[in-house]
């Protein structure tokens, strides 16, 4: 139980209504902003000067599988978190950029190995721009897939985008709802017995 001083304040970061205090909120916002920035910096620093091979596709598949396991772990963390909504926002800030950057790195390797794979050779920033436009379904048409391999990869990304938007976000929202109900049950457990007169006429406590 949080300690209460003489002025009625608690040392717990959470408020009495279950909403997070200022410190958890600030930390969650900082992590939410810094996580995508760190991932993009890592993407820009990765050595992507290798040839596009079947091993590249295997690495992409492994990355997507690892991200699926990460999502499962994040759902578990949301359910156990005292602030499930903040935890869900941090989970999206990690999962979404990671998924897009996996495909951006793959497109960069493919374009370096085959400049005709897309309508123009793609740099790292071009690949990042392309995956974001595909994810947002903007469809400017300035960059598009040309070869069969490129089109298959873009198709896989589009299917993954739909799954990420529809299924994963719904799972996160469901986990937030269950996490909140679980936290509410811990804060205000239901009474097992209600006070009332017993058979002998005395009142139970």
Of residues 21 and 202, more confidently modeled: 21
**Number of neighbouring beta carbons within 10 Å of residue 75:** 21
Residue 198 belongs to a domain: no
pLDDT digits (tens, 9 = 90+) for 77-110: 888 878 887 888 888 889 899 999 999 999 999 9
Mean pLDDT taken over the chain = 81
Residue 35 belongs to a domain: yes
Residue 192 belongs to a domain: no
Residue 55, domain extent: 22-186
Indicate the pTM of the whole model.
0.74
Residue 205 belongs to a domain: no
pLDDT digits (tens, 9 = 90+) for 124-168: 999 999 999 999 888 788 999 999 999 999 999 999 998 888 877
Residue 132 belongs to a domain: yes
Which residue, 102, 29, 78, is CA-closest to 179? 78
CA angle 114, 118, 123 (to 5 degrees): 75
Q: Is the pLDDT at 187 greater than 90, yes or no?
A: no
CA distance 49 to 51: 7
**Number of neighbouring beta carbons within 10 Å of residue 19:** 11
Residue 201 belongs to a domain: no
pLDDT digits (tens, 9 = 90+) for 3-21: 444 444 444 444 444 455 6
CA distance 168 to 175: 10
> For the chain, how many structural domains are there in total?
1
Residue 204 belongs to a domain: no
Q: What is the DSSP string of the chain?
A: ---B-TTS-BSSSB-TTS-B-HHHHHHHHHHHHHHHHHHHHHHHHS---SPP-HHHHHHHHHHHHHHHHHHHHHHHHHHH-SSHHHHHHHHHHHHHHHHHHHHHHHHHHHHHH-GGGBSS---HHHHHHHHHHHHTT----SS-B-SHHHHHHHHHHHHHHHHIIIIIHHHHHHHHHHHHHHHHHHHSPPPSS---B-TTSPBP-
Residue 9 belongs to a domain: no
């Amino acid at each position: 139980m949080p300690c209460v001083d003489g002025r009625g304040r608690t040392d717990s970061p959470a408020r009495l209504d279950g909403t997070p205090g200022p410190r958890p909120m600030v930390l969650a916002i900082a992590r939410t902003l810094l996580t995508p920035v760190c991932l993009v910096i890592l993407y820009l620093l990765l050595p992507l000067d290798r040839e596009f091979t079947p091993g590249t596709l295997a690495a992409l598949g492994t990355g997507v599988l690892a991200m699926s396991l990460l999502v499962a772990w994040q759902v578990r963390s949301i359910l156990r978190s005292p602030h499930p909504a903040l935890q869900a926002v941090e989970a999206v800030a990690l999962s979404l950029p990671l998924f897009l950057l996996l495909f951006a790195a793959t497109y960069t390797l493919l374009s370096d190995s085959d400049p005709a794979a897309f309508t123009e050779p793609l740099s790292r920033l071009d690949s990042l721009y392309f995956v974001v436009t595909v994810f947002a379904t903007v469809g400017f048409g300035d960059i598009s897939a040309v070869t069969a391999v490129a089109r298959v990869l873009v198709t896989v990304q589009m299917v993954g985008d739909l799954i990420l938007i529809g299924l994963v976000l719904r799972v996160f929202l469901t986990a937030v709802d269950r996490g909140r109900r679980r936290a509410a049950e811990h804060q205000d457990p239901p009474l097992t017995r209600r006070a009332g007169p017993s058979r002998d006429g005395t009142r139970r406590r």
